Amino acid sequence: MNLMPELLSVNFRSEAFYDDILTIYVGIDEITKLSVRMYYKILNQHDKVVALAETGLVFIDYNTKKIVRVPEKFTAC
């Protein structure tokens, strides 16, 4: 069983450069029986928002090529 993205959305708010120090905050917003929705906030060293992002993730059984339920040990966190 593996995680696979089903949704990716990025809203770029400002520039980031090679030598910038970035901080990435990650949070889980919603866990359903079949998917997990995560949000990301990326800040530069001046606390300016560089990007806001969201992903929807599903668990896939590679043998059957089907979406499976979110494992219980993942939802227990």
Across the range 2-9, mean pLDDT stands at 91
**Are the C-beta atoms of 74 and 66 separated by less than 8 Å?**
no
Place of tokens 């993942």: 74
Q: 6-45, pLDDT tens digit by residue? A: 999 999 999 999 999 999 999 998 899 999 999 999 999 9
What token pair was written down for 12?
A: 């770029």
| Helix, coil or strand: residue 73 | helix
Set out the domains of the chain in order of their start, with CATH numbers: 2-75 (3.10.129.10)
Q: Check pLDDT > 90 for residue 75.
A: no
Closest CA to 3 of 28, 25, 20, 21: 28
